[in-house]
A = this chain, B = another copy of it.
Amino acid sequence: MVAWKNFDQLESYKALNETECVDLVQALTAERVKNYTVPMAAGMSYNYAAKQVDDKILELLAKLSEEAELVEKFKELYNGAVINTGEQRLVLHQLTRGQLGNAVNADGVDKRAFYVEQQNKIADFANKVHNGEITNEKGEKFTTAVQIGIGGSDLGPRAMYLALENWAKVNGCFKMDAKFISNVDPDDAAAVLNSVDVSKCIFILVSKSGTTLETLTNESFVKDALAKAGLDASKHMIAVTSETSPLAKSSDYLAAFFMDDYIGGRYSSTSAVGGAVLSLAFGPEIFARFLNGAAEEDKLATNSNIKENPALLDALIGVYERNMLGYDSTAVLPYSQALSRFPAHLQQLDMESNGKSVNRFGEPVDYPTGPVIFGEPGTNGQHSFYQLLHQGTDIIPLQFIGFKNSQIGTDVDIQGSTSQQKLCANVAAQIVAFACGKEDENKNKNFEGGRPSSIIIGDQLTPESLGALLAHFENKVMFQGFVWNVNSFDQEGVQLGKVLAKRVLAHETEGALAVYSDLLNI
C-alpha cells in the first residue's frame, strides 16, 4: 500500500526548499540543451534545458518522486484503486487507450473490454454514416457532426478536432465537418444552427449524468430547430452518456454510446466523448491512431526513472517552480495554429484537477497547489502578452510546443526562409531570450532573463503526436496532484454556483443575490 502524505510532510520538501535555483543566464549552454532532454512517444521529446534545475535539484526531485511513491500511485490507479476518494470512484481514462496493468473489473464487467466495445460500436456507426448506410430521412448523407456538450465534453474534443482538421483534409481522411455548441447563451446555439444545414447534421448530445442543464437546454434548442425544419429529431441525434443516465435507452436517439463514472469530463477526450465526434469527422482509423499515441505516452509514465518519464519530470519541475520558487501561473505556448484551443483544454485539465485547497482526506493544505494556466499560439502571443513575460515584475514559467513540419505543407519562401522556418526560429529565439536575457544600459530595453521554459518538440502534429501530447499533460497533472496530495479527479468547487443559479431561476433569492438578479432582469 502506498502512503498518502502532504507534500510538506516529506523530507524532500525540506531538502528542495534549501536548494538554490539555477541562474539560467549563465547556465544555458549548448551541452545542456543537448543533454536535458527526454524522449516522448510519437518521436517527440521533452527538453527542459531552460528550466532552473541542475543535476543536484534533479536528484532531489527523483528522491521526491520515490518518497511520494508517485509511480506506485499511478500503478494503483491503473490497477483500479479508488483514487478519486471524494466521489469514491476508480480513475480509468488510461484504459480507453490501453491496459497498463491488471484487468480492472467494475460494475461487473472488464472495463477495458467495455471501452473497446464502445469504440467498436462508434466505429461501426461512423462507418455506416460515411458509407451512406445511415442517412437522413431523405436518404442524403450527413455532412456535419455537431457536438452538444460543455466543459470536458466540449473543450478537449474541440481542441482535438481543430488540431487534426487540416491534417485530415490534406491526408484524405476528412469525412465530416464538426461544430460545437456549449454555452447556455442562446446566441451560441443559434449562431451554430444558422451556419449549418440542419437536415444534414448529426447532433451528438454529450452528458455523462444526462442532467447537465446547459446541455439539456441546448438539446431542446436544437430539437426546436429540427422541428421547425420539419425534421424528426430522433433521426438526427445520438447520445454519449453513462449507461444509467436517462438518455441511455431513449428512443429519442439514433444510437447511444457509453462512458462511465470512472472517466472525468476533463479526461474524456479518448473515451466515447471524444470518440464519437472525432470518428465521425476523421474516421475510426484516425481516432485509433490518436489513441495509440496516447497509449504509447502512458507507457512512459510508468517508468520510475524520472529521465525516462517525461510527464513525471515535467510534473516535478512544475512543483519545484510552484512551491519552491513561488511562481503562480504557467503559460502554454504552442507554435502551431492547429493547437489554438489546446491551451483552453489544458486550462480546464490542470486548473479543475489541481485547483484545490484540501488534501485527499479533506484537510486544508499549507502550500500552494495548481497554478493558473493560460496561453495562445505563438507567434501570435509574441505580439500580445509576451511583453509581460519578458519584462513584467513576476516570473511566469513557459511551456512551449513546436513542430518541425507544418500540417498543410503549403508555404512560401520570403527573405530566404519559409514560414515554417520562421515559426520554428521564433520559438528557438524566445527560449533563449527568456532564459538568457540581454543587458542594456537603457533599462527600458534591458532583459533580465532567468525566465524558465521547456519545449516539447515533434516532427509534425499528427493523430499519434496529438494523442501523446494529450496523455503527457493528463499524466503530468495526475503526478502533480499526487505530490500535492489532492484529489485531482473531483470538482466540488463547481457545485455552489449551480445551486445558487437554480435558486435565482426559481426566484427563491434574498439579499445581495436578489438585487443582482434584478439588475440582470431575471
User: Is A425 engaged at the interface, CB distance under 8 Å to the other chain?
Assistant: yes
Give the CA-CA distance A479 to B64 in the complex, in Å.
46
Within 8 Å by CB of A500, from B421, B433, B487, B496, lies: B433
Give the CA-CA distance A69 to B431 in the complex, in Å.
40
User: Is A216 engaged at the interface, CB distance under 8 Å to the other chain?
Assistant: yes
Q: Which of A45-89 contact B (CB under 8 A)?
A: 45, 47, 49-50, 86
A229 contact set on B, CB distance < 8 A: none
A425 contact set on B, CB distance < 8 A: 501-502, 504-505, 517, 520, 522
A419 contacts B383, C-beta separation under 8 Å: no
Within 8 Å by CB of A421, from B221, B427, B490, B522, lies: B522
A444 contact set on B, CB distance < 8 A: 86, 358, 362, 487, 490, 492
B216 contacts A414, C-beta separation under 8 Å: yes
Which of A115-123, A281-289, A313-321, A389-397 is the contact stretch? Answer: A389-397
Closest to A331 in B: B372
Whether A512 touches B182, Cβ cut-off 8 Å, given contacts A500-B432, A501-B425, A504-B428, is no
Closest to A514 in B: B30
Which of A238-246, A293-301, A434-442 is the contact stretch? Answer: A434-442
A351 contact set on B, CB distance < 8 A: 384-385, 387-388, 392
B356 contacts A392, C-beta separation under 8 Å: yes
Give the CA-CA distance A165 to B408 in the complex, in Å.
28
A382 contacts B187, C-beta separation under 8 Å: no
A184 contacts B443, C-beta separation under 8 Å: no
- Determine how close the nearest CB of chain B comes to the CB of A510; give it in whole angstroms: 8
User: Is A209 engaged at the interface, CB distance under 8 Å to the other chain?
Assistant: no
User: Is A519 engaged at the interface, CB distance under 8 Å to the other chain?
Assistant: yes
Within 8 Å by CB of A408, from B187, B418, B497, lies: B187
B402 contacts A520, C-beta separation under 8 Å: yes
User: Is A138 engaged at the interface, CB distance under 8 Å to the other chain?
Assistant: no
A423 contact set on B, CB distance < 8 A: 183-186
Whether A188 touches B422, Cβ cut-off 8 Å, given contacts A348-B385, A520-B404, is no
A151 contact set on B, CB distance < 8 A: 380, 382-384
A372 contact set on B, CB distance < 8 A: 328-329, 372, 374, 385, 388, 394, 396
A500 contact set on B, CB distance < 8 A: 428-430, 432-433
Give the CA-CA distance A152 to B137 in the complex, in Å.
48
Within 8 Å by CB of A185, from B188, B358, B419, lies: B419
Size band of the interface chain A makes with B: 35 or more
- Determine how close the nearest CB of chain B comes to the CB of A362; give it in whole angstroms: 4
Q: Which of A5-33 contact B (CB under 8 A)?
A: 28-30, 32-33
User: Is A3 engaged at the interface, CB distance under 8 Å to the other chain?
Assistant: no
A369 contacts B392, C-beta separation under 8 Å: yes
Give the CA-CA distance A85 to B221 in the complex, in Å.
54
B166 contacts A493, C-beta separation under 8 Å: no
B422 contacts A501, C-beta separation under 8 Å: yes
Give the CA-CA distance A444 to B49 in the complex, in Å.
38
Q: Give A431-459 as 1s and 0s: 1 = Cβ < 8 Å from B's Cβ atoms.
A: 11101111000111111100000010100
B385 contacts A443, C-beta separation under 8 Å: no
A407 contacts B512, C-beta separation under 8 Å: no
- Determine how close the nearest CB of chain B comes to the CB of A423; give it in whole angstroms: 5
Residue from A190, A356, A387, A446 with most neighbouring chain B CB atoms (10 Å): A387
A504 contact set on B, CB distance < 8 A: 425, 428-429
Within 8 Å by CB of A389, from B344, B355, B442, lies: B355
A377 contact set on B, CB distance < 8 A: 183, 185
B497 contacts A429, C-beta separation under 8 Å: yes
User: Is A99 engaged at the interface, CB distance under 8 Å to the other chain?
Assistant: no
Whether A503 touches B152, Cβ cut-off 8 Å, given contacts A187-B338, A355-B387, is no
> A182-B380, A348-B385, A422-B501 known; 6 other A-B pairs, CB under 8 Å?
A183-B379, A184-B423, A425-B502, A425-B505, A431-B516, A444-B487
29 contacts between A and B (CB under 8 A): A28-B511, A29-B511, A185-B379, A186-B423, A187-B338, A190-B406, A214-B379, A216-B414, A217-B419, A218-B419, A220-B412, A221-B411, A221-B412, A328-B372, A347-B376, A347-B384, A348-B384, A352-B386, A352-B388, A355-B389, A358-B444, A382-B494, A421-B505, A425-B502, A429-B497, A429-B500, A430-B497, A432-B500, A433-B496
**Top 9 A-B pairs, shortest CB-CB distance:** A355-B388, A151-B383, A429-B500, A374-B374, A355-B392, A390-B493, A348-B384, A391-B493, A186-B419
